[in-house]
Amino acid sequence: MKVQHYTATPAEPVPGAEGVTVRWVIKEADGAPHFAMRLFEVPPGGASELHTHWWEHEIYFLAGAGHIHGEQADHPVAEGTVAFVPGGELHQVVNDGPGVLRFICLVPHQRPG
Amino acid sequence: MKVQHYTATPAEPVPGAEGVTVRWVIKEADGAPHFAMRLFEVPPGGASELHTHWWEHEIYFLAGAGHIHGEQADHPVAEGTVAFVPGGELHQVVNDGPGVLRFICLVPHQRPG
């Protein structure tokens, strides 16, 4: 069992998203067999890259205010918002609030083949 | 894309854990292909069942104070604590604080075979 505060995991910059950081708080190297938990922080005015990929996202918003820009619409998000983004769907997380937008985002392990 | 506050998902009682509720905020019926997100609330003095199973838990604590009772030790938890519980390891989440202990807990889909 691994139990620790999220800040015990170092924050790394996210390429292509200025000021955005990610902490891989639960990953395959911890023994997680199926999926990983990451914690992201987006500064005011910042955003994740607008992108798409085969894998899904399961997201829980912890703090801040912003929106998810999707293919069909923009969805406002704040503390307590849950988001499921299916694989193959274009998406971007945007911070349009005054503080840091913090969320966890889980993804399946990305194995080749 | 599904985006909504966690309270939009009904809270259901958890058998074997008095006063504990679960909301299946992202589940297979939402199109999630690999794993599910649940949000639990444990009342003061309450606890999840002491149990073990083949699947892992990936947990993020949102509010409250308590501990995870494990095979080797008890681990204190509070807002911002991350826990990975491997499959096959005995565990129990205990609320020993004055307020509700709230956490999200993700599990792989449990398919027979």
**pLDDT of B111 over the 80 cut:** no
- Name A77's bridge partners: A66
Q: Specify which residues A107 forms β-bridges with.
A: A36
The count of domains in chain B is: 1
**pLDDT, tens digit, 9 for 90 and up, residues A59-103:** 999 999 999 999 999 999 999 999 999 999 999 999 999 999 999
A51 domain residue, yes or no: yes
Instruction: Say what the pLDDT of residue A113 is.
Output: 54
Interface contact flag, B56 A32, Cβ < 8 Å: yes
Helix residue ranges, H only, B1-113: none
pLDDT digits (tens, 9 = 90+) for B32-70: 999 999 999 999 999 999 999 999 999 999 999 999 999
Residue B68 lies in a domain: yes
Which residue on chain B is closest to A83 by alpha carbon?
Answer: B3
**Residue B113 resides in a domain:** no
Domain membership of residue A5 (yes or no) is: no
ipTM for the whole complex: 0.96
Residue B113: the pLDDT is: 54
Subunit contact A26:B75, Cβ cutoff 8 A: no
CB contact under 8 A, B2 and A83: yes
Looking up residue A99, the CATH number of its domain turns out to be 2.60.120.10
Residue in this structure with the two tokens 């694989």, named with its chain if needed: A87
Question: For residue B97, is it within any domain?
Answer: yes
